[in-house]
Structure 1
Amino acid sequence: MLDEKANLNGKVAVLLGGGFGIGAAASLGLAQTGVDIAIFDKDVAGMAETKAHVEALGRRCVTMVGDVLSVDDVRKFYEMVGQEFDRLDIVVNVAGGVKQRDFLQGTDAEDAEDIRRNFGYVIQSIRLAVPLIERASRGGSIINFTTIEAYRGAAGFSVYAGAKAANANLRRALAVEFGTRNIRINEVTPDTTPSRGNMSALKPDLLKSMEDAPIEDIEASMAMYIPRGAAASPEDLADTVVFLASDLSRSITGINIHVDGGTSAAFGFINWPGGGYCPAPVGESIKKLFPGATV
C-alpha cells in the first residue's frame, strides 16, 4: 500500500552529484523504489560503483562525467537525459562543496567558484530540467540540497554559506511560480554528516586533529552537539529525498526539511558535560572542559 501511495515505480530521476557519498545514497534510495536514474558527477570511480548498484536493483542507470562548475557539462548532461528518456520526474541537485578559509583570504576566482558550485549550477539545472519534466505533462519534484551553514553565521565558510542561503529564497519563489505547472520544489538541509565531502571541506590542521582523536571522544562530542545523539547518515538524507520525490509529499512545496538530529532546533543549546543544556558552559561544565579552572 505504501509503494502504491508513493507512486515512484517507473519514474526517472536525475541526480547532479549522485555518484558518491550522500548523492550515491540518494541514487540508490530512489532506485530501490523503482526509479530509473541518470547521474552527473566528476567522481568517475564512485559513479561507476553507484551505477553498478543501481543496475543490480534492476533499474536503468545512465551516467555522465562532468563538473557543475562547467556550464557546458551541465547542458550536455541534460541533452543526454532528453535523448535517453522519454520522461523526467525527479531532479536532485545535491552537488556542492567548499574549502574552509577566512573571508579576507579568499580571492575573486574562489568566490565565483563557491557561488557557481553551490548556487549557480542549481539555477541552470532547474531551467534545463523543467522543459523535460513538462514533455509528459505529469508534473515533477525538484529537490535541492543546502546546509545548516545557510541558516547560521558560519565563520570560515561565509561565501559558501551565502550561496547556499540563496537557494532558500529560490526555492520559495519557484514553488510559487511553478505551482500551476504541477512542479514542486523543496530543500533538504543536513548538518554534520559522516561523508567524504564534509570532511574534505575542513582546514588540513583541523582535519588532522580529528583523524588523531579517539573515536569515543568524537562520539561523545557528537552526543553533546546533536540532541538526538548521533549524526544523520547519508541513508537518512536519502530517505528524505525519496519522501519529497514521491506522491506522499504531493501537497508539499516550497519547504525546507532539516535532517540534522535536532541541531537546527537547538541553535546553540549544547548538552555540556556536567552541566546539561545551556548556550555556554557553566559551573561543573567549565571545570570539565578547562581543568584547573575555578568557578
Structure 2
Amino acid sequence: MLDEKANLNGKVAALLGGGGGIGAAATLGLARMGVDIAVFDKDGAALAETKAAVEALGRRCLAFEGDVLSSDNVRDFYAETGAAFDRLDIVVNVAGGVRQRDFLTGTDEQDAEDIRRNFGYVIQSIRLAVPLIERRTTGGSIINFTTIEAYRGAATFSVYAGAKAANANLRRALAVEFARRNIRVNEITPDTTPSNGNANALLPELTAVMMETPPEVIEKAMAMYIPRGTAATPDDLADTVVFLASDLSRSITGVNINVDGGTSAASGFIDWPGGGYCPAPLGDSIKLLFPGH
C-alpha cells in the first residue's frame, strides 16, 4: 500500500553528490523504490560502485564524473541526463563541503569556492532541472541538503554556514514560485551523521585527536550531545529523501526537515555528566570536567 501511495516506480532522479556516503545512501534508497538514476559525483571510484549497485537493483543509471565547482560539468550532466531519459521527476542536491578555518585567514578564492560548492551550484542545478521536469506535466520534487551550521553561529565555518543558510530562503522562495508548476522544493538538514565530508572538514589537529579517541568515548560524548543518544545514519537521511521525493509528501513544500536525533530542537541543551540538561555545565558537571579546580 505504501509503495502504491509513494508512486515512485518508473520515475527518474538526478542526484548531485550522489556517488558516495550520504549521497550514495539516497541514490540507492530511491533505486530500491523503482527510480531510475542520473548521478553526479567527483569521486570516480565511488561513482562506479554506486552505479553498479543501482544496476544490480534492476534500475537504469547514468553516472557522470564531475565537480559542482565547474558550471560546465553541471551543465553537461543535465544535458546528458536529458538525452538519456525522457523524463525527470526528482532532483537531490547533496554535494557540499568545507575546510575549517578562521574567518580572517580566509582568502577571496576560498570564500568563492565555499559559496559555489554549498549554494551557487544549487541555483544552477535547479535552473537546469526545471525544463527537464516540465517535459512532463506531472510535476516534480526538488530536495536540497544543508547543515545544522546554517541555523547557528558556526564559528570557524562562517562563510560555509552563510552559504548553507542561503539555501533556506531559496527553498522558501522557490517553493512559492514553483507551486503552480507543481514542483515542490524542500530541504533536509543533518547534523552529526558520520561521513567523509564531516571528517575532512575538521582542522588536522582535531582530526588527529578524534582518531586517537577510543570509539566508546566518542559514543558517550555523542550521547551527551544528541537527545536520542545516537547519530542519524545515512540511511535515515535516505529515508527522508524517499519520503520527500514521493507522493506521500505531495502537499509538503517549502519546509526544512532536521534529521539529527533532536540536536536542533535542543539548541545547545546538553546532557552534561553529573548535571543533566543545561546550556552550560553547572554543579557536579564542572567538577567532572575540571577536576582539581
TM-score range for the pair, normalised by the shorter chain length: over 0.9
Gaps of 5+ in 2: none
CA distance in 2 between counterparts of 1:20 and 1:3 reads 26
- The aligned residue for residue 173 of structure 1 is 173
The secondary structure found in structure 2 opposite 1:69 is coil
CA distance in 1 between counterparts of 2:156 and 2:213 reads 22
- The aligned residue for residue 223 of structure 2 is 223
CA distance in 2 between counterparts of 1:53 and 1:85 reads 19
| Partner amino acid, structure 1, of 2:218 | I
| Partner amino acid, structure 1, of 2:291 | P
CA distance in 2 between counterparts of 1:198 and 1:13 reads 25
| Partner amino acid, structure 2, of 1:220 | K
CA distance in 2 between counterparts of 1:20 and 1:140 reads 24
CA distance in 2 between counterparts of 1:290 and 1:59 reads 56
- The aligned residue for residue 284 of structure 1 is 284
Structure 1 position 193, deviation (Å): 1.1
| Partner amino acid, structure 1, of 2:224 | M
CA distance in 2 between counterparts of 1:55 and 1:196 reads 24
| Partner amino acid, structure 2, of 1:174 | L
- The aligned residue for residue 102 of structure 2 is 102
- The aligned residue for residue 60 of structure 1 is 60
- The aligned residue for residue 151 of structure 1 is 151
| Partner amino acid, structure 1, of 2:267 | F
Any residues of structure 2 matched to 1:33-112 within 5 Å, and which? 33-112=33-112
- The aligned residue for residue 127 of structure 2 is 127
Structure 1 position 197, deviation (Å): 0.9
CA distance in 2 between counterparts of 1:276 and 1:37 reads 46
CA distance in 2 between counterparts of 1:183 and 1:45 reads 33
Q: How big is each residue's C-alpha offset from its partner over 1:68-107, in whole Å with a ceiling of 9 and x where there is no partner?
A: 0001000000000000000000000000000000000100
Q: How big is each residue's C-alpha offset from its partner over 1:30-70, in whole Å with a ceiling of 9 and x where there is no partner?
A: 00000000001100000100111111111111111100000
CA distance in 1 between counterparts of 2:141 and 2:218 reads 37
CA distance in 1 between counterparts of 2:46 and 2:204 reads 23
CA distance in 2 between counterparts of 1:189 and 1:83 reads 32
- The aligned residue for residue 271 of structure 1 is 271
- Length-normalised TM-score, structure 2: 1.00
Question: Are residues 1:12 and 2:15 paired?
Answer: no
| Partner amino acid, structure 1, of 2:200 | S
Q: How big is each residue's C-alpha offset from its partner over 1:171-214, in whole Å with a ceiling of 9 and x where there is no partner?
A: 00000000000000000000011111111100000000000001
The secondary structure found in structure 2 opposite 1:39 is strand
Structure 1 position 138, deviation (Å): 1.1
Q: How big is each residue's C-alpha offset from its partner over 1:209-236, in whole Å with a ceiling of 9 and x where there is no partner?
A: 0000011110000000000001111000
CA distance in 1 between counterparts of 2:287 and 2:215 reads 23
The secondary structure found in structure 2 opposite 1:254 is coil
The secondary structure found in structure 2 opposite 1:37 is strand
CA distance in 2 between counterparts of 1:281 and 1:216 reads 22
CA distance in 2 between counterparts of 1:285 and 1:235 reads 34
CA distance in 1 between counterparts of 2:211 and 2:194 reads 13
Q: How big is each residue's C-alpha offset from its partner over 1:3-51, in whole Å with a ceiling of 9 and x where there is no partner?
A: 0000000000000000000000000000000000000110000010011
The secondary structure found in structure 2 opposite 1:13 is strand
| Partner amino acid, structure 2, of 1:138 | T
- The aligned residue for residue 201 of structure 2 is 201
The secondary structure found in structure 2 opposite 1:49 is helix
Gaps of 5+ in 1: none
CA distance in 1 between counterparts of 2:64 and 2:195 reads 22
- The aligned residue for residue 243 of structure 1 is 243
Structure 1 position 153, deviation (Å): 0.2
| Partner amino acid, structure 1, of 2:64 | M
Structure 1 position 292, deviation (Å): 1.1
Structure 1: 4+ residue segments shifted above 6 A:
none
The secondary structure found in structure 2 opposite 1:86 is coil
